[in-house]
Structure 1
């Protein structure tokens, strides 16, 4: 790849030199700076082969339709919204165009990111509620990263939610469970990834998310009561695959708030791996850390506010694998642990 080709590719992806070097450093584990990018573009320094190959891959991905990933669990408080937000930001850092759809009537992600601006969006008719129940244009409803309504910095587009979305669960209309999928079809050319934050239940909105998605990630806190519900959600996913979305695949179960020093956490992780074998992989756990709470308190996302923290590394590695279409890192147990045969706690 020559310098002018590199510059053309960067401009086609609408990236600055600073954004480009950040993407390269994230994906290739390098420490390139802006001046290095400038030297490449002006043919003052040869472009490394790994950089050229990555740029070509990024362009190919940009020209394909978005991959839609739902984050779902009928249990609340398992880190679902935290995971969806951090993966969205991590994907953006990996050079992807990202839309996050807040499909939870509690609007946690919307309030987290926009503060009082979330209510302004609703009053302006720009929310997933208006798209699904009022036939609003989804392209006009999406809040771009550069819109002044945004109170806190973020790097991806957002489709907000509102408590009125709960009305959808009582909607009785043939084929309504496909409404979200049909709406998202209008914007799949505009993004590389669409992340859906589903509500913490097995109601219609969760079914909608699974019908629209290509993949589903199941966040689960490593505590016995939370782990018990995984089988129920996997059964639901199987039914959706059989009846409504045969192309849906499970990316994996994502353990959250994991403490490797706690015996209970280790035991729950071991059971998750054993009793979901053949149905779903268990992904690399996300450790308990104050960085997530600190980021939420300030209206930020830990991947952006604490990018060097070890706690967010699993999110970065998972997003990198998603962006590269590679197998994600999986949970690994201590081989010295005893192998018991008890039922799931």
Structure 2
């Protein structure tokens, strides 16, 4: 076993170097310290055979549990909720068991899928606010397609949101930033994918969402001002990786509302590719299209109502790659002529 593999196994187990040190000492009766783990991972010291065997056994004994994907960006209007809804639907269409968690107090995803029934969900105490603020078990607030009126046709299980959730930012208690992760752990073996729609800010709810996730995708509208804030969310992701969730992976930046016929969109796409060259990948852009507005007015997900539209296919392509653990589809490198 080399250092790279050790690091990959550690992140798969969602352990920091300190956590791994504690777990190895507990299982092997040793007194390893964090610098020793670092030396192993940087190939400055050989990894003992019993450590390699122990890590391999830990991975083998892991139960098949849901992978958690969060869509996050501190900027509003970038297609974050649209991407959450459509990626969740795409994963469901691939035969996966999917849960969508709305962590945005504005509750756009909730209202979009549940229409006026979201009021019933609130009165029944079935919202993410009840989980985060009142420690209600996540299982008790999940809405299934059977729980809602037939005319709504909820495409997957869902945890609704409510404006009450905005009270989270004023709450201060030990370990509060991992409250969502703790709640999700209780149902992870019941789903293949859990998709989180984070709020459009860099507050506690976004930290919670990132701390609970395995992967994050950052939707970015192909507008010059929107790309300027990409560094902020990436900085937040980096801090969460270091401090709360070492297993979190930045899967990519997802350009949205892209119009290939506009020179400004093409320029922004190229700028994103240059700016993020050594930090992240830029995924296949989601085209701007009226199908999203039509679907929203009908209370549907665009991929559900327009499954063959070129505008929705990038979501299916990304979901298929995520689910099969394949390289994600990337934005094309524009030729000199295409940039004009």
TM-score bracket for the superposition, by shorter chain length: 0.7 to 0.9
- The range that moved more, 132-141 or 213-222, is 132-141
Where does residue 154 of structure 1 map in the other structure?
154
Where does residue 114 of structure 1 map in the other structure?
114
Q: Which runs of 5+ in 2 are unaligned?
A: 1-62
Q: How does 1:89-168 map to 2 (within 5 A)?
A: 89-149=89-149, 151-168=151-168
Checking the alignment, whether the CA contact within 8 Å between 1:241 and 1:248 is kept in structure 2 is yes
Where does residue 214 of structure 1 map in the other structure?
214
Where does residue 278 of structure 2 map in the other structure?
278
Where does residue 318 of structure 2 map in the other structure?
318
CA distance in 1 between counterparts of 2:118 and 2:85 reads: 16
Q: What SS class does the counterpart of residue 252 from structure 1 fall into?
A: strand
TM-score (norm 2): 0.80
Where does residue 304 of structure 2 map in the other structure?
304
* Aligned-residue offset at 1:254: 0.3
* Aligned-residue offset at 1:140: 1.4
Checking the alignment, whether the CA contact within 8 Å between 1:89 and 1:154 is kept in structure 2 is no
CA distance in 1 between counterparts of 2:302 and 2:278 reads: 32
* Aligned-residue offset at 1:154: 2.8
Q: What SS class does the counterpart of residue 194 from structure 2 fall into?
A: strand
Match status 1:186 vs 2:183: no
Where does residue 83 of structure 2 map in the other structure?
83
* Aligned-residue offset at 1:337: 5.1
Checking the alignment, whether the CA contact within 8 Å between 2:144 and 2:154 is kept in structure 1 is no
- RMSD between aligned alpha carbons? 1.4
* Offset from partner CA, 1:11-67 (integer Å, 9 cap, x none): xxxxxxxxxxxxxxxxxxxxxxxxxxxxxxxxxxxxxxxxxxxxxxxxxxxx71000
* Aligned-residue offset at 1:192: 0.3
Checking the alignment, whether the CA contact within 8 Å between 1:78 and 1:220 is kept in structure 2 is yes
Q: What SS class does the counterpart of residue 322 from structure 1 fall into?
A: helix
Checking the alignment, whether the CA contact within 8 Å between 1:115 and 1:151 is kept in structure 2 is no
* Aligned-residue offset at 1:151: 4.6
CA distance in 1 between counterparts of 2:277 and 2:333 reads: 14
Checking the alignment, whether the CA contact within 8 Å between 1:69 and 1:214 is kept in structure 2 is yes
* Offset from partner CA, 1:275-297 (integer Å, 9 cap, x none): 01121110000000000100001
Where does residue 34 of structure 1 map in the other structure?
none
- The range that moved more, 149-158 or 82-91, is 149-158
CA distance in 1 between counterparts of 2:137 and 2:212 reads: 17
* Aligned-residue offset at 1:148: 3.0
* Offset from partner CA, 1:292-329 (integer Å, 9 cap, x none): 10000100001100101111110010011111111110
Q: What SS class does the counterpart of residue 178 from structure 2 fall into?
A: helix
CA distance in 1 between counterparts of 2:77 and 2:193 reads: 24
- The range that moved more, 257-266 or 319-328, is 319-328
Checking the alignment, whether the CA contact within 8 Å between 1:258 and 1:286 is kept in structure 2 is yes
Checking the alignment, whether the CA contact within 8 Å between 1:113 and 1:150 is kept in structure 2 is no
Q: What SS class does the counterpart of residue 336 from structure 2 fall into?
A: coil
Q: How does 1:243-282 map to 2 (within 5 A)?
A: 243-282=243-282
CA distance in 2 between counterparts of 1:151 and 1:226 reads: 37
CA distance in 2 between counterparts of 1:301 and 1:157 reads: 14
Checking the alignment, whether the CA contact within 8 Å between 1:286 and 1:312 is kept in structure 2 is yes
CA distance in 2 between counterparts of 1:228 and 1:292 reads: 25
Check 1:338–1:159 CA distance in 2 against 1; reply closer, same or farther (3 A cut): closer
CA distance in 2 between counterparts of 1:213 and 1:150 reads: 31
TM-score (norm 1): 0.79
CA distance in 2 between counterparts of 1:154 and 1:93 reads: 13
CA distance in 2 between counterparts of 1:320 and 1:138 reads: 27
- The range that moved more, 72-81 or 318-327, is 318-327
Q: How does 1:195-210 map to 2 (within 5 A)?
A: 195-210=195-210
* Aligned-residue offset at 1:335: 2.1
Give the count of matched residue pairs. 278
CA distance in 2 between counterparts of 1:231 and 1:70 reads: 17
